[in-house]
């Protein structure tokens, strides 16, 4: 009777062992034989770099030198070539052009050309030639300069001066008198009276001229 309980205990033990083995086998069967390999990351597509010319627009080539500067031998302003000989150019330009073209004109020729300019209204050109002629000994040219400055004979249309000038009148009447111009002495006497009158009226320039005049 004692063997029966021992047999029952062993039976239960083997039953438990069998259950454990069965459970272990079931677990083993449920696990796959090999773990799947890791999925490799898909590499990003390689983008070829754009050509260097596409990264930045090429700089425009500099303009040609011929487009930046005027051609050699050509004047930048065509008008500058004609102003020297133009009668409407800078003051005295026509007279200077005439002098450059003339062959050693005499004082009389200078005075004659000056009168021509004066009649044309080119008073600056006329004054320049009258001045040169008077310096070279033409009495008539000296008288013409004096009359342009004399208040009695002043004509803005025929004078290169903006207004009468007693000092200029005295200077050129004196020069005309030295050269023997008829009437120059009488003009000086008339001018002296004007100078005295203006000096008394308070004209400082006339007073200085009068003082210089009397000191001679």
Residue 24 within a domain = no
pTM, whole model, 2 decimals? 0.59
Q: What is the pLDDT of residue 197?
A: 95
Residue 155 within a domain = yes
Q: How many domains does the chain have?
A: 1
Q: Are 130 and 114 in contact (CB under 8 A)?
A: yes
Instruction: Evaluate if residue 48 carries a pLDDT over 80.
Output: no
Q: What is the pLDDT of residue 196?
A: 95
Q: For residues 65 and 150, what is the distance between their CA atoms, to the nearest angstrom?
A: 58
Domain span at residue 202?
Answer: 90-215
pLDDT tens across 34-43, in order? 444 443 433 4
CATH of the domain at 204: 1.25.40
Residue 16 within a domain = no
Residue 65 within a domain = no
Q: Which of 85-94, 98-107, 126-135 has the lowest mean pLDDT?
A: 85-94
Q: Are 84 and 97 in contact (CB under 8 A)?
A: yes
Q: Are 45 and 57 in contact (CB under 8 A)?
A: no
Residue 25 within a domain = no
Q: For residues 181 and 179, what is the distance between their CA atoms, to the nearest angstrom?
A: 6
- Residue 193 token pair: 């009276």
Residue 141 within a domain = yes
Q: For residues 94 and 56, what is the distance between their CA atoms, to the nearest angstrom?
A: 60
Instruction: Evaluate if residue 94 carries a pLDDT over 80.
Output: yes
Q: For residues 150 and 166, what is the distance between their CA atoms, to the nearest angstrom?
A: 6
């Amino acid at each position: 009777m004692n063997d029966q309980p021992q047999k029952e205990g062993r039976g239960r033990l083997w039953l438990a062992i069998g259950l454990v083995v069965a459970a272990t086998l079931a677990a083993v069967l449920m696990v796959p034989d090999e773990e799947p390999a890791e999925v490799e990351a898909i590499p990003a597509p390689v983008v070829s770099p754009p050509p260097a010319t596409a990264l930045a627009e090429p700089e425009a080539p500099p303009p040609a030198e011929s487009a930046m500067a005027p051609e050699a031998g050509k004047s930048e302003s065509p008008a500058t070539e004609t102003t020297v000989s133009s009668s409407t150019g800078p003051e005295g330009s026509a007279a200077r052009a005439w002098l450059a073209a003339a062959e050693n004109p005499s004082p009389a020729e200078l005075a004659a050309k000056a009168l021509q300019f004066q009649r044309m209204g080119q008073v600056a050109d006329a004054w320049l030639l009258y001045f040169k002629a008077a310096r070279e000994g033409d009495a008539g040219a000296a008288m013409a300069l004096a009359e342009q400055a004399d208040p009695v004979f002043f004509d803005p249309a025929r004078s290169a001066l903006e207004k009468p000038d007693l000092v200029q009148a005295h200077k050129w009447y004196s020069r005309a008198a030295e050269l023997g111009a008829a009437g120059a002495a009488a003009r000086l006497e008339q001018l002296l009276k004007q100078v005295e009158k203006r000096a008394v009226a308070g004209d400082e320039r006339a007073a200085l001229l009068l003082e210089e005049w009397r000191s001679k």
